[in-house]
Homo-oligomer: A and B are copies of this chain.
Amino acid sequence: MDTLIIAKLDLFRRELEKFVVFTDEEWLIFSGYVKILNLKKRAHFAQEGKVCDQIAFILNGSVRYYYIKDGEEITSYFSFEREFTSSYNSFLTRQPSNNYVQALEDTQLLALDYADVQKMYADPILAYKMERFGRLVAEFYLICYDERVTSFVTQTPEERYLKLLENGREILQRIPQHYIATFLGITPVSLSRIRRRMLKSA
């Protein structure tokens, strides 16, 4: 394996230590299943109507999650470097995805196939560590989803935009405004109006 790939796998291993610490023996098995995936800008990681067969860790780049409704794209979320991505519902249920996951820029990922993840859950050496890893990752994303639901239920689009300004500078700098608008649950015109209003009152 070339040294660049080894460095990327090392970065991945260190990131996963937020969840679990793999022994060298465990990591040798785990890393054997990891595939490098390069997506050109606008290429799809997951598509509506197809079962999403992979979960992936973003090495560099970013992805956008969107639905198509009445011919319009509705952006629902974004993921960046050192985050996981998948069409989770489809990946977990093995049902066709109801949304798209698309590279916002040239994006490199480390991917695991669903079938390989199942092999690891069944591997006597890895089973316990994998179950723990899977639990902690699922709980982590449960908390993310909970915050997203909370924002829909308790905040106006203007409040969601202010929150984004506070926490998500990266989102605002790297993402086209019309994607941000649907992410906030509003039209691009409404977003422009909110921004003008905020500039005036600043």
Contacts and interface: CB of A to CB of B under 8 A. Distances in A.
A98 to B, nearest CB: 6
Given A138-B138, A138-B142, A149 B150 contact: no
A141 interface: yes
A109 interface: no
Contact of A135 (B76, B134, B152): B134
Nearest to A69: B154
B154 A74 contact: yes
Interface in A128-155: 128, 131-132, 134-135, 138-139, 141-143, 145-150, 152-154
Contacts of A143: 88-89, 92-93
Given A76-B153, A153-B76, A135 B131 contact: yes
Nearest to A148: B149
A4 B93 CA distance: 36
A146 B141 CA distance: 10
Dominant secondary structure at the A interface: helix
A67 interface: yes
Interface residues of A, number: 33
Nearest to A87: B146
Contact of A67 (B98, B145, B154): B154
A145 B149 contact: yes
B98 A185 contact: no
Nearest to A75: B153
A27 B50 CA distance: 39
A152 B150 contact: no
Q: Which 6 residue pairs spanning A and B have beta carbons closest together?
A: A138-B138, A145-B145, A135-B135, A131-B131, A134-B135, A89-B146
Given A89-B147, A153-B185, 4 more contacts: A76-B150, A89-B150, A128-B128, A152-B185
8 contacts: A74-B153, A88-B142, A88-B143, A128-B131, A131-B132, A138-B139, A138-B142, A152-B185
